[in-house]
Amino acid sequence: MHTYDRPRRYTVAVKVIDIFGNDTMTLVPVNVG
């Protein structure tokens, strides 16, 4: 779990690696506050 220091819009990088070693990454905007 991550906590943010102040309300604003952040971009979170999410990376997933499957059982075959293939990976994909996406950027997800997150509004905090």
Q: What angle do CA 25, 8, 28 make, to 5 degrees?
A: 15
For the chain, what percent of residues have pLDDT higher than 70?
Answer: 100
Provide the b/e sequence for 1-33 (b: ≥16 CB within 10 Å): eeeeeeeeeeeeeeeeeeeeeeeeeeeeeeeee
Model confidence at 2: pLDDT above 80? no
Whole-model pTM above 0.75?
A: no
Model confidence at 4: pLDDT above 80? no
pLDDT digits over 8-22, tens only? 999 999 999 999 999
Quote the CA–CA distance of 28 and 16 in Å, as a whole number: 13
